[in-house]
C-alpha cells in the first residue's frame, strides 16, 4: 500500500502546502481522506480504474473546498463520498449551482454515504468514531491489505483517538499548534500531544499533518515539530505535500 500526501496544511493554502488531503492506494480501492485543496491533485495519482472512496472528517472548508474540482476527474469505477450524519444535506447545499455542478451532472457515478448508518455499504474493514472539535467530526480507522491506518484530525486528545489508533501501523494525526491545545470547545493537537497519543495507542508510525500555516509557515518549522515529537514517540515524521510512503 502507498500513502500519498496531497495537502498537509490546516485552515488555508500557502506556498508550503495545500489544505488537507491524503490518498491511500490499496490493491482494490483508492481511499482519500478529506478534500481540502490538495484534492485537486488527485488525478496525478488516481486514474479511476479502481473505485474511489472519499472519507470526510467534517465540513470545515479546509476539508471540503477541493470538492469543486470533482469535475476535472474521470472516475469510471465511481466515487463514494462518506461523511457523518447529515452529509447528504450539507454536501447538497455546497455541490450545486452557482458554486459548482451537482454530483448528478458529473460524468461518473458519485454517491454520498452517511456514517455510521450506511457503513454496511463500504466493502472493506473500517470504523469511525466522533472526536472533539467545535462541531461534529469523525476519526477513522482502516484495516486493509494487512495494514491498519488511523486518521484523527481536527480534534484535541480524546479516548476515541486512542481507540482508533490502537496498534495501528500508521497514525495520521493533526498537529495544528506549536504548543497548547486551543480553547476548550475548539481544541487541536501539538507535537507533544500527537506523540503522546501515538505512544499510548501503541502505533507503529506517526505522521504529523494539518499544520496551521500561521504556526508552521515553512517546512523547517514542521521538521522542528517532528524532532520535538520524537522525544516522546520515536517513529514520527512530518508530512509534506507530494510525500509518498510505502506501508
**Which CB, 62 or 241, lies closer to Zn ion?**
62
Q: Decide: 191 and 228 in contact? Cβ < 8 Å.
A: yes
Considering only residues 146 through 175, tell me which ones interact with Zn ion, judged by CB under 5 A. 154
Using alpha carbons, select from 59, 46, 237, 24 the residue that is nearest to residue 151. Answer: 24
Pick the piece of the chain touching Zn ion (CB under 5 A) from 22-30, 62-70, 142-150, 226-234. 62-70
Task: Kindly state the smallest distance separating residue 10's Cβ from Zn ion, in Å.
Answer: 4
**Which CB, 19 or 148, lies closer to Zn ion?**
19
**Which CB, 26 or 187, lies closer to Zn ion?**
187
Pick the piece of the chain touching Zn ion (CB under 5 A) from 58-66, 71-79, 117-125, 163-171. 58-66
The site map against Zn ion for 1-30 (x = CB under 5 A) is: ---------x--------------------
Asked whether the bond before 75 is cis by omega within 30 degrees of 0, the reply is: no
Dist CA 236 CA 231 (whole Å):
9
The residue from 41, 60, 80, 222 that contacts Zn ion (CB under 5 A) is 60
DSSP codes, 122-190: -SSEEEEEE--SSS--EEEEEEETTEEEEEE-S--S-HHHHHHHTT-SEEEEE---SSS--STTS----
Q: Binding to Zn ion by residue 83, rule CB under 5 A?
A: no
| Coil/strand/helix, residue 95 | coil
Q: Which three cell numbers stand for residue 186?
A: 475548539
**Which CB, 25 or 60, lies closer to Zn ion?**
60
The footprint of Zn ion (CB under 5 A) covers 10, 60, 62, 154
Amino acid at each position: 500500500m502507498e500513502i500519498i500526501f496531497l495537502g498537509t496544511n490546516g485552515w488555508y493554502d500557502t506556498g508550503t502546502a495545500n489544505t488537507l488531503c491524503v490518498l491511500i492506494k490499496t490493491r482494490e480501492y483508492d481511499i482519500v481522506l478529506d478534500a481540502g485543496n490538495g484534492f485537486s491533485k488527485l488525478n496525478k495519482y488516481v486514474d479511476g480504474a479502481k473505485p474511489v472512496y472519499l472519507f470526510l472528517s467534517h465540513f470545515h472548508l479546509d476539508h471540503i473546498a477541493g470538492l469543486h474540482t470533482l469535475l476535472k476527474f474521470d472516475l469510471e469505477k465511481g466515487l463514494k463520498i462518506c461523511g457523518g450524519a447529515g452529509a447528504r444535506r450539507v454536501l447538497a447545499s455546497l455541490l450545486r449551482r452557482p458554486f459548482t455542478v451537482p454530483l448528478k451532472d458529473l460524468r461518473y457515478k458519485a454517491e454520498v454515504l452517511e456514517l455510521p448508518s450506511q457503513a454496511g455499504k463500504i466493502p472493506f474493514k473500517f470504523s469511525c468514531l466522533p472526536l472533539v472539535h467545535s462541531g461534529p467530526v469523525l476519526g477513522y480507522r482502516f484495516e486493509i491489505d494487512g495494514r491498519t491506518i488511523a486518521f484523527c484530525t481536527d480534534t484535541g486528545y480524546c479516548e476515541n483517538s486512542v481507540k482508533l489508533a490502537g496498534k495501528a501501523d500508521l497514525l495520521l494525526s493533526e498537529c495544528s499548534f506549536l504548543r497548547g491545545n486551543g480553547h476548550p470547545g475548539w481544541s487541536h493537537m501539538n507535537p507533544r500531544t500527537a506523540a503522546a497519543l501515538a505512544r499510548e495507542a501503541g502505533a507503529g508510525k506517526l505522521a504529523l499533518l494539518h499544520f496551521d500555516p500561521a504556526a508552521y509557515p515553512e517546512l523547517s518549522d514542521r521538521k522542528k515539530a517532528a524532532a520535538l515529537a520524537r522525544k516522546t514517540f520515536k517513529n514520527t515524521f512530518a508530512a509534506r505535500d507530494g510525500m509518498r510512503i510505502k506501508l
